[in-house]
Homo-oligomer: A and B are copies of this chain.
Amino acid sequence: MRFKSMFLNTNVRLCVLRYAGRHFSSSSSRLSKLGGIYPPIPTPFSSSGSVAYDKLKENLNVWNNHDFAGYIVQGSNGEYPYLTNSERVEVVYKVKESIAEHKMLIAGSGCESTSATIEMSNAMAKAGADAVLVVTPSFYKNQMLSNALYEHYIAVADKCNVPVILYNVPGNTGINIPIDTVADLSSHPNIIGIKDSGGDISRIGLIVHETKSSESFQVLAGSAGFLLASYAVGAVGGVCALANVLGNEVCELHRLCLAGRWKEAKALQHRLIAPNAAVTAKYGVPGLKAAMDWFGLHGGQPRSPLQPLNELDKRSVRKSFEENGFL
């Protein structure tokens, strides 16, 4: 079901022609290099539970000093499922105000329905997003087969005013976009990449291989835990929760990989795995927010039902940083 075969389908052909008319190629070229490190930034809340835009800006002032390629706003670490639609857009708007001109702003716009995703994507584009990151719909798991995912992403990419990045995060969604479907989608001129957070490195390698004919399609590792390995098989960058607190180190790992200094890269990668696991798979956003407090950022409390870490869990997170020389 590669893109070429779809020209049998009139609707699709029309779509493709239409893309041309809307100059997708130029928007794609603007983003032709996704390469680099992107922290998926958390959303700070005030003690009353509302979004603390001032703290967000102060965090950005710190992060702007790092060599990040840009930011992911409202990836999983942004607690986006806990924000209202207007908060989701407003956060993008506020981040846009505070980031340096050359940094990419990628906004997580995925919703369960195709139409809501399109609407949110364009609202975020209007608020300043350079591209959108679209998570797989996942509530009706048994029905999210290749066909449904394909139609969803084609419709979003077709109607979205900025480029689309696929977002595969089976740990949260229970869904893996089939590799063949990723390859099919990679031919769409407005789909420029995938962020894969599953950690299955054979899958990441095969995605790079199967999408190599789509020059503008790039692969981002979804976690600092398998960043080096992802570069080794062809990823160009990473969306790394850990970069929120260890920005220098994660950017250094990026540089070492690009420079082919694999031995040093390996030593650094090894030290990052355990603290990365602590602020992602093990303790999630509450773990990340706890760590942010130690690193001079505004972490604070997550929104309910996420609970702040208890003392025992906090010690476990802290230990993983200490044992690797980061605290």
Point out residues on A near B: beta carbons under 8 Å: 49, 76, 81-84, 112-116, 137, 139-144, 147-149, 151-152, 155, 171-172, 174, 199-202, 205-206, 208-209, 212, 223, 225-226, 228-230, 232-234, 260, 262, 266, 269-271, 273-274, 276-277, 281-286, 303-307
Contact = CB atoms under 8 A, between A and B. Distances in A.
Task: Please state the number of chain copies in the assembly.
Answer: 4
Most chain B CB neighbours (cut-off 10 Å) among A148, A266, A305: A305
B274 A206 contact: yes
Given A200-B200, A228-B232, A209 B273 contact: yes
Contacts of A285: 140, 143
B113 A81 contact: yes
Nearest to A232: B232
Given A115-B49, A282-B142, A304 B152 contact: yes
Contacts of A223: 202
Contacts of A232: 228-229, 232, 262, 266
B172 A113 contact: no
Contact of A270 (B116, B234, B260): B234
A307 B143 CA distance: 8
Given A148-B306, A151-B305, A155-B304, 12 more contacts: A82-B112, A82-B116, A114-B304, A142-B284, A143-B286, A147-B307, A202-B273, A205-B226, A205-B270, A206-B274, A209-B270, A209-B273
Contacts of A112: 81-82
A134 to B, nearest CB: 11
A149 B305 CA distance: 7
A305 B205 contact: no
B201 A234 contact: no
